[in-house]
Structure 1
């Protein structure tokens, strides 16, 4: 009897990581304050209605307030949350200090593969701050999930004690911090799963009661999450409302992009190829970019 292992069950190598996420916000100054003071990102570029933020190493978030008049629509398709992945429990503890100093009440979840804190930004865009457990501690595959996940309580005191305490209030996020995954609100979980798994070729790592799916490359627990908890049969958000504008994925191999483009073309999916990147929309109209950098 063969042993089910993640390596034997996964095949996708397309995505290296989520490179960056573009969000629509109402007030650019307020949004910059949140993502810099609370999340701990550094402002790289700033214009009247837009900004680029990240760590000392990379830009991982772009904000734009042009024409945005209303907060995020909680029932529209688009963003459920944007997950900022910290390199260890100590840096997540430092983030929790910043949240507490700013007066945020957080939700939290131990997902067996990670510990996560949940809040919304000032425009209602969902935010997850998390750290991964070492892969050796992840649950073994089951009959129906490659990476089983759950939601259990988090020992927030232990997370706090792993960090630097009040000394961390003004700290930037470490340079290793990046967008670990993006969790989407979608209209139909079947359509979304077929697109990301069958068309893009990601591995389906876990599902939840026909209402959520988690997909990835290279055996990661998920680069893309999707659910219909608030958005079943929903429609994309208006551009005048805050929300998700674009996800940019970094591919493992630049040579994979022509193959991806040919596959999309053969299946009748409209896409653009510019400056070495492939751009397209998913079934909910979410802009996706696949780029080598």
Structure 2
């Protein structure tokens, strides 16, 4: 699956979560998710696998818990390299009694749970792309029951930490307007629309993946935008293949009236729902 999560495909980098309790959240992500602390300071902790960062936890002294109904993170999704790794993690999470959902999406098997500050988490493994369900040539994800017995026949080993090949596979966001979201994410950022669930959710990707970004209005179409100093997703990073690709995105954003901060090597823009996107190389 690495072709969808490395150059030349545009893919996700680090996601930053603003947290109320940095110490407790760091311990949670180390123990429950199996991440390793790579860097830390008084207000930030960078976690990942090997030397690859995946999640940054950030706290300032004014951070408050987010409202229940506002734009932001539905879940972040950690992609494991093999289905055997998924079976191993599933057994571990089951022992912790933290499983809230378990689904076979045709393209993948996924388990769902929520961290101690209310951030949704998915851990999943992909099936081979040639096995992904399609309709009229288009990927069509489904939601069915996971064949746990089949998973256990893979003889999963006891889980200790995430494998080195683990990546941030996708993120799924709450937004207030799907048409506005599509105009921004497809029209300006350049993602492809892979699948729409009626007028409630969109699944978008780069390079033919089933989705790098999901968008939904399941909290309603009148929700507020995320505000600074609130817990939840603070930013996420898109990594482009080259400067030309990023420059074309920036030109479209600026032409549409968006302010792109280009003061550092990692550019920043805010989407229509108050979510910060880092544009990196």
Fold agreement, TM-score > 0.5: yes
Aligned to 2:11: 17
Task: Name the residue aligned to 1:3.
Answer: none
Instruction: Please give the alpha-carbon distance, in whole angstroms, between the structure 1 residues aligned to 2:251 and 2:99.
Output: 47
Segment drifting more, 80-89 vs 67-76 = 67-76
8 Å CA contact 1:93, 1:161 repeated in 2: no
Picking from 248, 251, 255, the partner of 1:262 is 251
Q: Of residues 142, 147, 154 in structure 2, which corresponds to 1:155?
A: 147
User: Which ranges in structure 2 are unaligned for 5 or more consecutive residues?
Assistant: 1-6
Could you list the per-position Cα deviations for residues 179-215 of structure 1 after superposition, in whole angstroms to 9, with x for gaps in the alignment? Answer: 1111000001111011111111211000001110011
TM-score by length of 2: 0.91
Specify the SS of the correspondent of 1:230: coil
Q: Select the residue among 23, 32, 48 that pairs with 2:26.
A: 32
Task: Report the equivalent of 1:192.
Answer: 181
Gaps of 5+ in 1: 1-12
- For 1:183 and 1:288, the matched residues in 2 are separated by 14
Deviations 1:100-148 (A, max 9, x none): 23231330111111111110110000100011111000122438xx311
Map of 1:290 onto structure 2: 279
Cα distance in 2 for residues equivalent to 1:254 and 1:231: 37
Structure 1 partner of 2:170: 181
Pair 1:106–1:283, CA change in 2 (3 A): same
Q: CA deviation at 1:49?
A: 3.1
2:39 is aligned to: 45
Pairing partner for 1:224 from 213, 218, 229: 213
Distance change >3 Å, CA 290–CA 14, structure 1 → 2: farther
Q: What is the alpha-carbon root mean square deviation over aligned residues?
A: 2.0
Length, aligned pairs only:
275
Q: SS in structure 1 opposite 2:172?
A: strand
- 71-80 vs 246-255, which deviates more? 71-80
Asked whether the equivalents of residues 91 and 163 of structure 1 are also in contact (C-alpha less than 8 Å), the reply is no
State whether residues 36 and 49 of structure 2, in contact with CA within 8 Å, keep that contact through their aligned partners in structure 1: yes
CA contact (8 A) 2:178 2:215 kept: yes
Q: Which among 126, 129, 134 is matched to residue 132 of structure 1?
A: 126
Matched, 1:248 2:242: no
User: Secondary structure of the equivalent of 2:262?
Assistant: strand
Query: Could you say if the C-alpha distance between residues 254 and 160 of structure 1 is closer, same or farther in structure 2, counting changes exceeding 3 Å?
Result: farther
